[in-house]
Structure 1
Amino acid sequence: MMTKTTLKPGQKGTKRLMEKYGERLICVHYRYDKQTSRRYTTVELVEEVSDWETPMTRISQPSEFATSRRVAVRVDYWEAELRQQVKTCIWRPRQKLWEMKYKNVIVLGLENRLVGEDEVVPE
């Protein structure tokens, strides 16, 4: 059996099925069977909608291991208030980076300032 045509809701040939299935209709397939010389009309429907966890959601809720690992964060010199908050962490003057636990990065909201491992020069 081969699929010759796939139509999206609203295209010519889907009107009757749109009335029947409404918002649940995803697409309509017209399949042809050469052996029996028949055409089959099949539909794809949404059966259920539920929440799912994206990879980014999982990252925003890190494991205990992930929160205890040390990461490098860049804080610019003129950001005096933020620098004051991270002064309890380790300063790496050669790299001009602060080293801190990832859980502190989350608490301070510094996720967008994380420095990749390729940018960190070994001590």
Structure 2
Amino acid sequence: MKSRLNLKPGQKGTKKLVEQYGKALLYVRYRYDESRGVRLKTVEIVVEEKPWQPTVRIRDDDIVAVIVNFSEKAMQNRLKSVGGKWDPEVKLWFVPYGPIRGTELEERIHKDYFKRGQEL
């Protein structure tokens, strides 16, 4: 079955369907079944809308901010050893994600500070 025509609401040929489905209408498609010799008109409608937040996939070369308390000297030294840099303005450590992936430091990543593939 081939789809030959995809119409958005408001285009010619969608008026009655816009009246029927309103803002829920996304597309009207005409599909052709050559083996049966028929044309099908289908609609794509929204049946549910919920809030959704996409997950951010972090790559090994991405720079992430890590929360480490001032008293945790061993953690600070560990971050330094893998190339981490302290930013005194935001009071966070910035480090490439790769060396901390799968460690307890991964759980300390600050979600609001993220730099895709940038230098420290």
- Give TM-score scaled by structure 2 length: 0.53
Partner amino acid for 1:29? R
Determine the structure 2 residue equivalent to 1:72: 85
| Secondary structure of the corresponding residue to residue 42 of structure 1 | strand
Larger Rg: 1
Determine the structure 2 residue equivalent to 1:18: 18
| Secondary structure of the corresponding residue to residue 22 of structure 1 | helix
| Secondary structure of the corresponding residue to residue 31 of structure 1 | strand
Give the C-alpha shift of residue 55 in structure 1: 2.2
Sequence identity of aligned pairs in percent?
Answer: 35
List aligned pairs for 1:51-90, cutoff 5 A: 51-56=51-56, 67=67, 70=79, 71-74=84-87, 82=89, 86=91
List aligned pairs for 1:1-123, cutoff 5 A: 1-56=1-56, 67=67, 70=79, 71-74=84-87, 82=89, 86=91, 106=110, 111=113, 119=120
CA–CA separation in structure 2 for the residues paired with 1:15 and 1:117: 50
Give the C-alpha shift of residue 42 in structure 1: 0.2
Structure 2 stretches lacking a partner, 5+ long: 59-65, 69-74, 94-104
Give the C-alpha shift of residue 54 in structure 1: 2.0
CA–CA separation in structure 2 for the residues paired with 1:18 and 1:38: 24
Change (3 A) 1:2 1:117: closer
Change (3 A) 1:117 1:24: closer
Structure 1 or 2: larger strand share? 2
Structure 1 or 2: larger helix share? 1
- Give TM-score scaled by structure 1 length: 0.52
CA–CA separation in structure 1 for the residues paired with 2:86 and 2:17: 55
CA–CA separation in structure 1 for the residues paired with 2:4 and 2:15: 19
Matched pairs, number: 86
CA–CA separation in structure 2 for the residues paired with 1:117 and 1:73: 15
Structure 1 stretches lacking a partner, 5+ long: 60-65, 76-81, 91-100
